[in-house]
A and B are shown apart, each in its own frame.
Chain A
Amino acid sequence: MTCPDDLKYTSDHEWVRIEGANATVGITHFAQAELGDLVFVELPAIGRAVSKKETFCVVESTKAASDVYAPLGGKVAEVNQDLNSNPELINQDPYNGGWIAKLEGIDEAEAAELLSAAQYREIIGE
């Protein structure tokens, strides 16, 4: 179950769980496997307004720092503080315990443009 069917995705390997006008965001199983063991996550500030494709988080492995893009526009309502002390949660449980941020006031049109699990699976060759 590397891409749950109930989630939306981007070609940059973020996943999105849409609940009304809110969205929970993280990086996919595929992305965490490519990055390797994560050792630091720079979370966005709460209250920050982000637009689609904007770098809003940085995840770092021993070898490199990688940008995470906002899959859609909105305001950062909550971040996963557990990642401060346990960045490896993203490796261990990317779709649940490893969520990164919750956005509120999301753009409906942008939400509609996100990829389905089937479309994302095609991108990663599964």
Chain B
Amino acid sequence: MSERLTPLYELHKELGGKLVPFAGWQLPVRYQSAKEEHEAVRSAAGLFDVSHMGEIWVTGAEAEKALNFLTCNDVTKLSDGKALYSAILNERGGVVDDIIIYRFSLDRFLICVNASNSEKDYEWLQSKNRFEAEFVNESDRWGQIALQGPKSASIVASLPGGEVIAALKRFRFFEAELGGIKIIAARTGYTGEDGFEFFTAWGETADLWSALLNAGKDFGLVPCGLAARDSLRLEACYPLHGHELSEDYTAFESGLAWIVKLDKGDFIGRSALLAENERGSIRKLTPFFVEDAGIVREGAAVFSTAGDPIGVVTSGTHTPTVNRALGLAMVKSEYSKEGAVFEAEVRGKRLQCKAASSPFYDATKSK
């Protein structure tokens, strides 16, 4: 076994987690039923080990300028204690990684990056930076736990020090103590539900996990694995690096236009995206439902009803809350409009699919 272990590895085994390799780590794909874990997050709460995610500090007099050049969202819109979803792009406008930027002060930022990317991102940021800023990769020092679901705030509030954390607004964070453990608490997540993400020292992560799991017992909190995380994010139409996001798809094609601020000044990828903005994108990430019986998965080739190849499925499964076979596909732009019909090939058969509107699931409308 060459994968790395998170600080919760022993706890996952004790909890009956089915451990699998993921992005270079051993992580639980599920504990008991992935469907029940998914449903718990929609109706109560779920706890996720996201310690594999990377943490990179950006400090220095020009840290803000550096991040505004190295990522596509407008970092100057942040104030202390606010977080921002952004992306690191290549010169072609392709996505190197999607990240969250946390501003501690004008000269001190934390960025949270995808697990398999922390080394690559760290080297990329250092090599492309032209401002007075320093980068420190502390991915090995930080564990991370996500608490997600409508009961999250109540669970946090029930722990010593939790009330002030429960009062955080969305995309705000601060350095806090929860149950006597020093953490960075952020009101963010990747499930389409309300919730929190907590950073804590590697060695304290297991204590934080146990404290949360214990506090959540009376609220229906369950530990959740990668399968639930994937079906939850897919229903919310959140793109996943290595699936929807890659250096070969531009930020516009991948549906990240809302975090691309062409007017903020120069940044890596801007000129390519300006040109794409002028001429229009040739393909677009498109949510779809499968109309025929069957499940369409990542990698399935997509065809027009006339039989012409028009793209590829980037993620697809049958999800519990929406309770249908659905997915995301990168297809020629003319097929991205809601209601457009196309076909995906599964084991030699072509299943009819229909372009849907994003997201499949919206917590604010469903409750």
Contact = CB atoms under 8 A, between A and B. Distances in A.
Interface of A: 36-37, 39-40, 42, 58, 60-63, 65, 84
Contacts, number: 40
A42 B30 CA distance: 24
Contacts of B231: 62
Interface residues of B, number: 18
B325 interface: yes
A36 B347 contact: no
Given A36-B30, A65-B347, 18 more contacts: A36-B227, A37-B33, A39-B295, A39-B317, A39-B318, A40-B325, A42-B347, A60-B295, A61-B34, A62-B34, A62-B227, A62-B231, A62-B318, A62-B320, A63-B29, A63-B227, A63-B317, A65-B297
B293 interface: yes
Interface string B312-345: 0000011110000100000000000000000000
Nearest to A58: B347
Nearest to B35: A37
The 8 closest A-B pairs by CB, nearest first: A39-B318, A37-B35, A62-B317, A40-B295, A60-B295, A63-B227, A37-B33, A36-B34
A42 B347 CA distance: 11
Nearest to B36: A37
A36 B317 CA distance: 14
A104 B59 CA distance: 73
20 contacts: A36-B34, A36-B227, A37-B34, A39-B295, A39-B318, A39-B325, A40-B293, A40-B294, A40-B318, A42-B294, A61-B34, A62-B35, A62-B227, A62-B318, A62-B319, A63-B227, A63-B317, A65-B297, A65-B347, A84-B293
Nearest to A39: B318
Nearest to A62: B317
Contacts of B347: 42, 58, 65
A39 B294 CA distance: 9
